[in-house]
Structure 1
């Protein structure tokens, strides 16, 4: 006899835990920082405040220090349950205790105000400092490894309590004609067998079980999404009529996992 789907309500949803591998339930009693587009449903009395719009200046002054990403985040405030998810990617929560963790900006879904978010010196990454829980998505399950280690840039999710990585290129890539052309033009790309991120020192490195990065997605672009009144089928937030050339800085950053 087959069983039907599990039906949840505010009383049966988990408390700060996974609903399933692809969704997480936050038991909100106060405030959480939340990346736009990652909350799929909620119960209770919850309001959402934009970063830099004055409603929670004291909280934001203490806990959010990344002007580059301010438009992508809100503060959820109130009492209730929030269900977080991101395009059916794996979602998990992690705890920091008086620590620091640097993570890809697109992978970070939400965090408690006990943590302070700062803009990493490495493009495309954010750093959390302090004590508290955060929720992150990954393309496959996350594994923790200790330095010294070299990792495929596409598999890297983040690192905790250890120095920032450096680039490592294998000798064959460095001396090869094709490698020289790639270095000059940015055309052709690299693989994890040719180029890695090298970590040394104490700490932990977070790896996803895939060499495929989560696709980039513009946040706060709901009117441009298919299925939304007034929306379309194009890429959300994509500028129109602006050509992209191989080897542009953004392309190089994505190619190297930055």
Structure 2
């Protein structure tokens, strides 16, 4: 009979009293303003009025808050085709009222940006919340819509206001300068400056169709002056044609 005692718990896995657990995970007012990061993956919105949020991102709220989905015409008639092609387009809901709203998106890291009369384009899957003062417009990767299952839409933001975006793990920002283009994997591309208009490079060969390709058959090419943000993770947006 084996009577060896189990090894003691390590510091990382040591048990906590209920009181200690509640203290360690308690909500705290950090005085950061409208957007507060309760943790790297939970955003607190101190709501007093209206806020645009990604549909399905609410995990909890306190106070008197109501939610309304963005209507199909809210983006204008010109975006009806984009919504039809992409399935739903950018799924936005409006949160209105007073209270504290908590948002998260599949445990992704949250980055809060303050735009000051600036523009940025964000992958639609990586938009978490933004103030109504920011103008937003859905843009589509037209040249490869037939090759994409989802994630074919981006959202361009212009103006001044707070914007919360998400990234799998720590993002990396690359500078784009004249004569020094940057090429990225669309599945790992989070955002880029509004001054850039990415083109698409394809490297589809017979080997690709046989499953011997590099796996990087489509790339985004950024040229000009600006920046592009990538994440160390490839979200799957592409599917083979049917």
TM-score by length of 2: 0.70
SS at match of 1:120: strand
Q: Is the 8 A contact 2:89 2:153 kept in 1?
A: no
Does residue 114 (structure 1) correspond to residue 133 (structure 2)? The answer is: yes
Structure 1: give runs of 5+ residues left out of the alignment. Answer: 217-245, 250-258
- Alignment partner, residue 78 of structure 1: 97
Report what 2:47 is aligned to: 28
Give the root-mean-square deviation of aligned CA atoms: 3.2
Q: Does 1:151 align with 2:184?
A: yes
Name the residue aligned to 2:215: 191
Seen in structure 2, the aligned counterparts of structure 1 residues 189 and 17 have a Cα distance that, compared at 3 Å, is farther
Q: Does 1:180 align with 2:203?
A: no
Which residue does the alignment assign to 2:234?
212
Matched pairs, number: 201
Q: Call closer, same or farther: CA 1:12–1:130 in 2, change over 3 Å.
A: closer
Extract structure 1 runs of 4+ deviating beyond 4 A.
11-14, 64-67, 185-190
Shifted more, 97-106 versus 67-76: the winner is: 67-76
Distance in 2, matches of 1:112 and 1:95, equals 10
Contact 2:90-2:138 within 8 A present in 1 as well: no
Matched-pair contact (CA < 8 Å) for 1:111–1:134: yes
How far did 1:72 drift? 2.3
Show CA shifts across 1:45-84 (max 9, x none).
111122229xxx9xx579x985424682211111111111
Per-residue deviation at 1:154? 2.5
Kindly indicate whether the alpha-carbon contact (under 8 Å) linking 1:13 and 1:19 is maintained by their aligned counterparts in 2.
Answer: no
Larger radius of gyration: 2
Check the 8 A contact 1:42/1:82 in 2, yes or no: yes
Of 44, 50, 71, 2:69 maps to 50
**Structure 1 residue 247, shift from structure 2 partner:** 2.3
Task: Give the gaps of 5 or more residues in structure 2.
Answer: 1-10, 142-151
Give the whole-Å Cα distance in 1 for the aligned partners of 2:95 and 2:212. Answer: 43
Using structure 1 for the length normalisation, give the TM-score.
0.66
Indicate yes or no: 2:194 matched with 1:201: no
| Preserved CA contact (<8 Å) 2:183 2:221 | yes
Task: Please report how far the alpha carbon of residue 92 of structure 1 lies from its aligned counterpart in structure 2 after TM superposition.
Answer: 1.6
